[in-house]
Each structure stands twice: as structure tokens, then as C-alpha cells.
Amino acid sequence: MAGESFDVDYVARLAHIELDDGEKAEFGRQLGNILAYMEKLKSLDVDGVEPTMHGHGRVNAFREDVVKPSMARDAALANAPERTDDEFRLPKIVEDA
Amino acid sequence: MDIARFTVASALKALDAGEVSSRELTQGVIDAIDAKDAEIGAYLTFDRESALRQADEADAARAAGKRGALLGVPVAIKDLINVAGQPCTCASKILEGYVSPYDATVSARLRSAGAIFAGRVNMDEFAMGSSTENSAFKTTRNPHDTSRVPGGSSGGSAAAVAGGMAICALGTDTGGSIRQPASFCGIVGFKPTYGRVSRYGVTAFASSLDQVGPMTRDVTDAALLMNVLAGCDEHDGTTADVPVPDFAAALDGASLKGVRIGLPKEYFVDGTDPQVSSIVRSAIDRCAAAGAELVEVSLPHTEYAMAVYYIVAPAEASANLARFDGVRYGHRTGKPEDVYSLYAKSRAEGFGAEVKRRIILGTYVLSSGYYDAYYGRAQKVRTLIRRDFEDAFTKVDALLTPVAPTPAFKVGELQDPLSMYLNDLFTIPASLAGLPAISVPAGKTAEGLPVGVQFIGAPFADAKVLSCAKAFEAA
């Protein structure tokens, strides 16, 4: 069922990944099969069951709110595709007025 | 210097006795790589200069009377664990050329213990895969049969150790990525309890499942590495503030006598390769002969684990991998038309097929209208799976199961994603429940392919799991 309804275009756009036509056809078919496999979960009664979000029961981890040294600016910028002296450089994204 | 004959324990002993230097061990790793790695393809990079410099420093420290838990021992590192100044590509084109600006906590711990680490080993891209065929850079081969895969995603780690090109390695395990390659390559692979080892600086795949662990020639070495790796970390709020035992000392007098070993009936079903079944059966006999009390148990929700995993893990991955957008690091497209295409083209050009597939699957199961039906439901079924284990551990001390339904398969054999996913059938449930689990060699098929068995323990019973595996190894 899911194979027919899986809108790969829409989901790829949400995921910020441009797909070519070949990928769209292939992923649409493969993900349809995978989702069909997931259908088996619908046969279980999970009413009133608490969700598990982590590998153990810990909920919150607190620490003192103290300023500590962090990564130097140059180190943080070292892997930038493009940079100025102290900033990441990006293409202009706002139109001129 | 043939490093294939060294374990971590024997290397430390030889170093202490002055029979070998760290420089000789490290040169041994380099020579083995030169001799074998063109065929195996375990390493992505190896910085010889840095390795030998670290080795000389370790030798000098030792000569000055210093000691460390791993002083002078070379360790191979899976290419998603950050080491300051070294590449960390996650076997992805999107991180080609990336140089880590900082140490992961596990790297810092290895550094304090005096380990030598300069080699980065191959993996499935972003740890997504079960064969290491999803690496963007090379295919790693199984040292026992080079027409076959080493397993994955920590296939480079397993092949380096099994191929005599590393004494030990670090891997990571999200749904079986330490245990399955350990089984395929005939080595020991241990996934600690979730929260036992810090994930800080380990590139995240699925944050509620990922754990770093040792891949070694024997169980003692796994325990020696755990002594260095384990512990609460202020940089990782999911590490558990629980006492850390001396894992190596806990192996003293390891015995299966009177230990209640559970055999979950859902793991002994049709569909497993007959030779694997027979090796696992004889492993069970070995445990019985060593005095273990065998108890049949049931984990009734096992059949749902794979569906849960392939919802939860891609969902978390889709969020974690959103950071790769061509802005701050990693590949940026040369032809952005607007801000959306900067992201969408950079990611399209940088990620491989399996990573795209999982991000899209994860995005879908989290998207409006589908969240409750997939992700919400999967998290509830995850609770049922965890409860199955809780019930079982009221009756037994550990569980014994197969690691994977087959021995190592051929390179290129599994083309369909779903059939590749089915390889993780027996390793995924313990991951979902956050449990410690180990793959330990149990035998070989008629073709000479190694097969491991898995011991699974209760949360934070890591020492118990290691001790069962140690006693089994010796039985």
C-alpha cells in the first residue's frame, strides 16, 4: 500500500536533499517496501504504553551554569567552505531593494 | 615485528619487560599495512609521522618510569570519532578534507592512557550499513575471504584487527555495528550499556542508540579498553553517573558455573544459516559443559524490533544529519541559486545513496500526519521490547544468541536495502533496550568463515557480560 502513496518529492524537499529522477524512482520503490514492512507494528495494542526515548531511564541532566573556555574562533572556522577573518561566508540570500 | 601475535595485554607485558618498544610495535602496524592493506582496504588514512612521534614519546615516558593503561599501544580508530588534528570523514564525501578541531572524550581518554592513534579505519558512510560497502571511499574486504564483506558498519575496525594490521580498534554500534563485523571477522566486539561510554565528539547517527566500544582479539583486551573508555562525562548528558568497575579485574576467575544463561526461543528460528545454527548449538553445549544452567526464555516482541529500529534510527539520523548543510563545514555546492538550493545541492552532492535513503525515511516518519503512526508507535513498541528483557533478567543472568543469521556474505551480494537490514535482526533488540552485548568467536563454517555468538546482559551488567564471554572463550 505505502509503495503507491509515498510522495518522495515532498519528503525530499522537507529533508533538503535534491534528488534526480533515477533516485526518485528507486527510493520511492524501496521506501515503499520498507514502509510496508513497518505495517506489522500496527497489529500491536500499545494503548497506555509509555514511549521509550532513550537507552536508559535518565530524563534530565543538570550542571552548574558556569562559563568555561570554549573552542577558539579560528579552530571553529578552520573547516569552513568559505570564510572571512572571523565569520562564515555565505552567498547573498536577501534580494536588493 | 609481527603485530598479529600481540594482544593489548601481551603488548603491555612486553613493553613493561623491555622486550619490545612502542616504536617497534607502531612500525609493525605500518609494515603490516604496507604488506596487506592494498588487498584488505581497512584503513582510510594512516599518519606515519604522527604515529612514530607518538610512539617515541611513549617510549621516552616509559623510560622515565611513567606508566599508563595503554602506554605505547597503537589503537585503530573508526573514522567518525574525532581526534584533534586528524581527518574525520565518516567515510562520506560530504566531510572529505575535514580536520577535527577537538578530541572526542574517548580520544582524550585514550590519549591520557598513553595510546598511539594515527590510523583512521573505514566504515559504512555515517555508520549506515552492515557491510562497509556504503563507504564513499573504498570497499573493505574480509581478511578470512577477500571475496566477502567484513560486516559493518565498523568493518574497517574489524578487518584491521582480524587482518593483523591493528592490535585493537574502536568501533561504534547503533544496531549491531560492532558485534556483526566482529562475528564476520572472528574477533571480539563489545557494545557497552547505553550511557556507559561518552558519545561526545562521536559523529551522531542515532543518539538514543549509539555507543562506542572495543574491537579486540580477545575478551581480556576488551575489558582493558573498557577500563579506559567508560565513565560519566560532563560533555555528554546521557552518560550515566554510576560506579565504573575494574572490568579487567572482574575477569579474574571468570566462570560459567551456576550462571543462568537464557536462550530466547525467538532467536532460534528458521531462516538462520544451518552452519550458523549448528555453531551456536555447540556454543550452548560448551556453556552447559562449563557448568552453566540453561534456561529457555521468551522475548515475545522480538519480531517487531527491526521495524522499530528502522523507524527510530532514521528519524534520529534525519535530525542529526541536518547539520551537514554546506554552511560551517563539509562540502558546499559550487552552484547555489538560493539558500534552499545551497542546502539541497550540497547535501545531494555530498551524501551517498544509503544516507539519503535513511534521511528521507526518517524525515517521512517524523512528518506531520505520520508521526504518531510511525515514530510515536515505534517508541511505544520499544518499551515493550525493553520490558521483555526486564522480565527475562528476573530469571537469568545473561542471554546467549546468534549474532547474525549468516556468516560473511559476498561483496555485492545484498543489493536490496531491506535484505541488508535483516542482517541486524539479532543485534537490534539489545540496542533498542540499551543493553550491554558482546560478540565472541564460537567457530568456523566448512568454508573457514568465522561465526560469533552473542551474550547480552542487564543494564550496566557490562562486567557480567565480559565475564561470561571470558569464561566461554576459555571453555
Q: Which residues contact B396 (CB under 8 A, 6 or more apart)?
A: B260, B261, B262, B295, B297
Q: Decide if A63 and B234 are in contact by the 8 Å CB cutoff.
A: yes
Choose the catalytic residue: B177, B198, B318, B439: B177
Q: In this structure, is residue B26 part of a structural domain? A: yes
Confidence at residue A57, expressed as pLDDT on a 0 to 100 scale: 67
In-domain check, residue B237:
yes
From the list B101, B211, B357, the residue facing A27 with the nearest CB is B357
Interhelix angle B219-229/B462-474, nearest 10 degrees: 160
Total domain count for chain B? 1
* Residues of chain B contacting A13 with CB distance shorter than 8 Å: 344
State mean pLDDT over B387-407. Answer: 98
Q: What domain range includes position B244?
A: 3-251
User: Quick check: B58 and B186 in contact, CB under 8 A?
Assistant: no
In a domain, B139, yes or no: yes
pTM: 0.97
Q: What is the mean pLDDT of chain B?
A: 97
Quick one: which of B207, B424, B212 has its CA closest to B316? B207
Query: What is the model's pLDDT at position B27?
Result: 98
Residue pLDDT, tens place only, B186-220: 999 999 999 999 999 999 999 999 999 999 999 99
pLDDT of residue A5: 63
**What is the interface pTM, i.e. ipTM, of the complex?**
0.92
Measure in Å the smallest separation between the Cα of B314 and chain A Cα atoms.
12
CA-nearest residue to A17 within chain B is: B344
Taking the C-alpha atoms of residue A17 and residue B349, their distance in angstroms, rounded to an integer, is: 9
At B233, which amino acid appears?
Answer: D
Q: What was the pLDDT predicted at B297?
A: 98
Strand, helix or coil for residue B239: coil
- Residues in chain A, overall count: 97
Which residues of chain B are within 8 Å of residue A44 when distances are taken between CB atoms? 301, 304, 377, 381, 384
A33 at interface of B, judged by CB pairs closer than 8 A: yes
Whether residue B48 is contained in a domain is answered as: yes
Nearest-neighbour CA in chain B from A5: distance (Å): 12
Does residue B259 lie in a domain region? no
**Confidence label for B337 from pLDDT (cuts 50, 70 and 90):** confident
- CATH at residue B235: 3.90.1300.10
- Determine contact, residues B187/B228, Cβ cutoff 8 Å: no
Q: Are B233 and B198 in contact (CB under 8 A)?
A: yes
Task: Provide the angle, in degrees to the nearest 10, between the axes of the packed helices B219-229 and B8-16.
Answer: 80
Q: Residue B157 domain-assigned?
A: yes
What is the per-residue pLDDT for A4? 47
Closest by alpha carbon to B222, among B467, B474, B475, B472?
B467
A75 interface with B at CB cutoff 8 Å? yes
pLDDT in single tens digits along all 97 residues of chain A = 344 467 899 999 999 999 999 999 999 999 999 999 999 999 999 999 999 988 776 677 888 899 999 999 999 999 999 999 999 999 887 766 6
Beta carbon pairs, A and B, within 8 Å: 168
Whether A16 and chain B come into contact, CB under 8 Å, resolves to yes
* B229 in any annotated domain: yes
Tens-place pLDDT, residues B274-325: 999 999 999 999 999 999 999 999 999 999 999 999 999 999 999 999 999 9
H or E element at residue B275: helix B274-289
For B107, the 3-state DSSP assignment is helix
A6 neighbourhood in chain B, CB within 8 Å: 364
In a domain, B381, yes or no: no
Bridge-based pairing state of the strands B211-216 and B260-264: unpaired
pLDDT tens-digit profile of B2-14?
A: 999 999 999 999 9
Three-state secondary structure call for residue B360: helix
